[in-house]
Amino acid sequence: MFVLIFSNSCKKDDTSTSNTVTDIDGNVYHTVTIMTPAGSQTWMVENLRVTRLNDGTTPIPIVTDNTWGGLTTPALCWYNNDVNNKATYGALYNWYSAINNKLCPAGWHVPNDAEWTALTTSQGGGSLAGGKLKESGTVHWDAPNTGADNSSGFTALPAGSRYTNGSFYLKGQYGWYWCTTENSSSEAWHVYLQNSTSAVVRKSGSKGIGFSIRCIKD
């Protein structure tokens, strides 16, 4: 039996918690702690939206043109290059941003493949975990948002992605999240959730794609 430890007395979609972490830009993120087979994990409840490394001086380039897919250096963008997506959905980062150990606030990091697997396992495994991790309802997720009850408090959001050709895909239907773990010289692992299933899918993809990031506490 796995125990969920919420950051306050609120549950599910109420993320007005007392425990927060602030990034170098001053963005505030609520947190939730979840017991997994590997021990407790504390996660951000919102997608990362920082634009600088935590040294306070190094910017992460915001790339709006189609040079995006050819980069082998850190970059971020907002979905559809629209900064109005920042507050709710956070940024889309390439994998080269994800592996920088100063991307998350000090004391936090981008999760590896094993940490994502432990989280998924704690929520009933790949076929069920998506429902427990997704924000419930259809305010942000497109219908039917199958199985979504957010019983974990994780509040996964459908921020979509940016493919290597520079195009943006499927906000409202898919939420993709980077792992830091490589699969090959050109690909790394990620997980995704979607509106039409309660599953969490683990997959490998190009390091040049733009995905969301959730930081986990060290």
DSSP 3-state of 187: strand
Kindly report the three-state secondary structure assignment for every residue of 55-80: CCCCECCECCCCCHHHCCCCCEECHH
pLDDT tens track for 121-131: 999 998 999 99
pLDDT tens track for 50-91: 999 999 999 999 999 999 999 999 999 999 999 999 999 999
pLDDT of 3 reads 36
Closest CA to 158 of 145, 166, 167, 150: 145
Q: Does residue 37 have a cis bond before it (omega within 30 degrees)?
A: no
pTM above 0.95, yes or no: no
The C-alpha atoms of residue 71 and residue 210 are separated, in whole angstroms, by 11
Half-sphere exposure of 136 toward its Cβ, with a 13 Å CA cutoff?
13
The C-alpha atoms of residue 71 and residue 63 are separated, in whole angstroms, by 10
